[in-house]
Chain A
Amino acid sequence: MDGIYSPGAASRSLAWATAFYLVLPILIVVPVALTDQRYLSLPQDGISFRHFATVLSSPEWLGSIWQSFTIAVAATILSVTAGTLCAIGCWRISRRTTELVRVLMLLPLIIPSIVYAIGLYRYFGPLGLLDRFLGVVIAHGVTGIPYVVITVSTALAAFDPRLEQAARGMGASLSQTLRWVILPRIAPGIFSGAIFAFIHSWDELVMVLFIASRDVFTLPRRIWDGINENLDPAMAAVAVLLILFTLLLLLADRALRRRNEG
């Protein structure tokens, strides 16, 4: 990008300050996780990996990690299926009412999750979904739909509608067109949406606090409880593992996009 207007010193330092401000709270967790002390603190005599060892050998932590993972996978499947079908439907029908549907689909993103959580709590009770795997999957799956609708709609906006016409003109039924033409073209968008829906479920705490108590004890829930009850640096170690895992997912998303653009 030579020859393009380059930013001045002031805007450059402002940009760096902003980036630093965003990343700092995440970075502070790393030295805390490597502390040699038995309480939440910065390392004093040297760094130690023993808190990582604690986490990876504790059945509670491992159980919560596994539970969070299975919930996130199931919720992602729900979000991706519903979100993709909704985005394709809105795109195909494409009337003023479908714009309304699209906005409606974004509601979980707009409404504070605590409001959502209270509502869920009210009607999950009678349905027997409180503190159930299925209940949390439904809650996370539904609130993950907006991410999929957004990414799939973006992918569809770039989809040439003549490809669909061409497929229909050659005798393809709607489901054949969907399977062989539309889905392969928007797969990167679906995959991005899936990653975001997964991350959304993976680190969701507010709703879990309301609709789960004992049987369902996700990873964010365990971190939350740990902070409230004791100041074990194992939480910082978990946080680091979480950050690494999320980073990995985002890098996968980036790599996939780049491959599709290239």
Chain B
Amino acid sequence: MSAAAGHALGLRGLTKRYGDFIAVNDVSLEIEQGEFVTLLGPSGSGKTTILMAIAGFVAPSEGAVLLDGRDITPLPPEKRNFGMVFQGYALFPHMTVAENVAFPLRVRGMSRADRDAKVRAALDLVQLAQFSGRLPKQLSGGQQQRVALARALVFDPSLLLLDEPLSALDKKLRAELQEELKALHRRVGRTFINVTHDQEEALSMSDRIAILNHGRLVQAGAPGELYERPRTRFVADFLGKSNFLEGTVRQPAPGGFMLEVGASRLAVAHGPGTAPSPGTRSLLSLRPEKISLLAEGEAAENQVEGRILSWAYLGAGFALRIATADLGELRAVLPSWKSPVAPAEDLPVRLGWSADAAVPVEEDAA
């Protein structure tokens, strides 16, 4: 397998309508060569339709798909030379593992000797060489997934497309294969485009995530950037969990302002960028893990008193629901090994967070 043969892919104003229903609405995205990009969204967000349009199975109503700047929109799937791992893998049940992997080479008319060498190399890549004579149904889910990967990579495709590649696996195996897939991406140096609804999978594997909702691209960026600086309420809510605080902007200053929520005033440091004008409404996203329980005499930039409504022990941490007077119900996640109090229902607590913990977000357009 030749290394670093990645290709760049561009989507320009991609739109797909089914009658009155708009599955994909004016999506533009540039994917660099060698990048691992995940299209993330809930079901019905249009992510799979976009992948199918890239693969050539769905003809876009408007817009174009570009490979290294060349318009490939009218090309049928068999002319695109893209590798694809399907949901449920779509291995050919009547062929052995080796025959499955050899299939893309066979359709290209490659000689048997060349084919055998390539198949062996591809199966070695996914550590399945000893299973080459088996039928797919004789393999476990994780092994089938690796066969699908080998089959998608064996013919040196320009891109690798992955449609929910891990969704059929149990949780532990999924975590293992996430790491494997990432390592494989580094080894083969190809452009990977992955579709998933699993935010954890997207965060752990991708160089960049594109978040979709109702057919629109809401935000694209590196996982950390999206998590720490979500642009809208949807992004903050879908990628991880979030509390939302809505109030009126007071005392804007460079890099920060005060948010008035009921009788409380919260300090917000939003970093570089223009501050919102005073008197306007603003929405903050506050991650549960950025809230801490304050011990006696401990202080924080923002403090609020409340009462524990309910709590759950999660092993690594406690998940708390806390009722407050001005901010409504807040969710907090604390590391269990350094919780200052033992949680109990109705226990009065003091919550605190720093000024840069909360991030202003926009409401999503309906």
**Interfacial residues, chain A to chain B (CB-CB below 8 A):** 160, 162-163, 165-173, 176, 180-181, 184-185
Contacts and interface: CB of A to CB of B under 8 A. Distances in A.
Contact of A180 (B80, B90, B103): B103
Contacts of B81: 171
A176 B105 CA distance: 12
A40 to B, nearest CB: 51
Interface string B99-135: 0000110111000000000000000000000000000
24 contacts: A162-B86, A162-B88, A163-B90, A165-B90, A166-B90, A166-B92, A167-B103, A168-B77, A169-B57, A169-B80, A170-B78, A170-B103, A170-B104, A170-B107, A170-B151, A170-B152, A171-B79, A171-B104, A171-B107, A171-B155, A172-B78, A176-B107, A180-B107, A184-B94
Question: By CB atoms of chain B within 10 A, which of A160, A163, A165, A169 has the most?
Answer: A169
Nearest to B55: A169
Nearest to B81: A171
B14 interface: no
B44 interface: no
Interface of B: 55-57, 76-84, 86-88, 90, 92-94, 103-104, 106-108, 151-152, 155
Contact of A169 (B82, B94, B106): B82
A166 B106 contact: no
Contacts of B94: 184-185
Nearest to A176: B107
A175 to B, nearest CB: 10
B36 to A, nearest CB: 19
A163 B107 CA distance: 15
Contacts of A173: 78, 107
Contacts of A169: 55-57, 77-78, 80, 82-84
A172 B92 contact: no
A141 B133 CA distance: 41
B92 A163 contact: yes
A184 B103 CA distance: 14
Given A165-B57, A166-B84, A180-B103, A171 B90 contact: no
A102 B83 CA distance: 35
**Nearest 4 A-B pairs (CB), nearest first?**
A170-B104, A166-B90, A162-B90, A172-B107
Contacts of B84: 166, 169-170
Nearest to A184: B94
B90 A170 contact: no
Contacts of A176: 107
Contacts of B107: 167, 170-173, 176, 180
A158 to B, nearest CB: 11
A94 to B, nearest CB: 15
A96 to B, nearest CB: 15
Contacts of B106: 180
B15 to A, nearest CB: 22
Given A165-B57, A171-B81, A172-B78, A160 B90 contact: yes
Contacts of B87: 162
